[in-house]
């Protein structure tokens, strides 16, 4: 593939401009409780508490299952923000978002997986590599738009998109098709070297040729390993599919 003019420069690679539970009110002593019954209750409680204390005053009587549950519920009600470890170590409870994230395996699939696979195979690109590029470019947001005008999932500039036959850069299928075609051409140009192809996608093939490798642009230096890192993670998905 012959060298093409710089269509994406480092300057054009953008940062995307893209209750508490109420505790039940404490009940007050029942007005009609007999004094004798109250005295017996106090005496019984004091005796039970004393029998479970060591001389040092440390309660060693193990809690029953119902007492443990009740104590835990009471602590939650009282704090509204702190849960307790069985050993008594306070820990921060998970938020709803953390609970969902913990119960979902993020490596099960990626957005637009079918479209990414089809476009990647059409142009001889590793689907995981294309997915990694999309993750870095737009975080899988088809409506992403940078401050300098790069658009869509693969963040192509208008001139590049038109050259690749894109009529709507925000259409996921068109964006992925064009991005895969562009990346596939760069892989051929740089003899399958993924690092150089990615650097050219970010900074332009002329810059890669000029410097004989990844250009010394801070953004490009960060961009390449990030995409490759995402690709390594996503490769597990296609390996299991």
**CATH number of the structural domain spanning residue 149:** 1.10.530.10
Asked, for residue 197, whether it belongs to a domain, the answer is yes
Partners of 208 in beta bridges:
none
| Residue ranges of the chain with per-residue pLDDT less than 70 | 1-107
Dihedral angle at the C-alpha atoms of 135, 137, 139, 143, nearest 10 degrees? -140
Position 107 scores a pLDDT of 59
- C-alpha separations of 194 from 36, 114, 122, 235 in Å: 87, 22, 17, 14
Mark whether 115 is an active-site residue: no
Residue 193 lies in a domain: yes
Catalytic residue selected from 115, 137, 177, 219: 137
Residues 128 and 158 in one domain: yes
Domain range enclosing 130: 108-239
- Mind listing the pLDDT tens digit for each residue in 45-101? 444 444 444 444 444 444 444 444 444 444 444 444 444 434 343 444 544 434 333
Question: Does the residue 22 lie in any domain?
Answer: no
CA distances from 201 to 54, 215, 227, 234 (A): 73, 12, 11, 19
Per the structure, how many domains does the chain have? Answer: 2
């Amino acid at each position: 593939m012959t060298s093409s003019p710089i269509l994406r420069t480092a300057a054009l690679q953008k940062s995307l401009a893209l209750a508490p539970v109420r505790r039940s009110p404490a009940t007050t002593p029942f007005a009609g409780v007999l004094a004798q019954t109250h005295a017996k209750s106090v005496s019984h409680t004091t005796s039970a508490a004393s029998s479970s204390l060591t001389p040092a005053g440390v309660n060693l009587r193990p809690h029953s299952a119902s007492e443990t549950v009740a104590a835990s519920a009471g602590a939650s009600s009282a704090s509204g923000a702190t849960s307790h470890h069985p050993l008594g170590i306070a820990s921060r409870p998970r938020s709803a978002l953390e609970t969902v994230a913990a119960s979902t395996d993020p490596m099960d699939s990626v957005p637009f997986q079918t479209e990414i696979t089809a476009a990647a195979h059409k142009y001889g690109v590793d689907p995981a590599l294309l997915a990694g590029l999309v993750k870095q470019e737009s975080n899988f947001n088809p409506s992403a738009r940078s401050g300098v005008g790069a658009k869509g999932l693969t963040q192509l500039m208008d001139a590049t998109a038109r050259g690749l036959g894109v009529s709507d850069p925000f259409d996921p299928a068109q964006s992925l098709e064009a991005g895969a075609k562009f990346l596939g051409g760069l892989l051929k140009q740089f003899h399958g070297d993924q690092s150089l192809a990615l650097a050219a996608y970010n900074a332009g093939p002329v810059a890669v040729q000029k410097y004989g490798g990844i250009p010394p642009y801070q953004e490009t230096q960060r961009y390449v390993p990030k995409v490759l890192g995402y690709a390594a993670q996503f490769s597990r998905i296609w390996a299991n599919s």
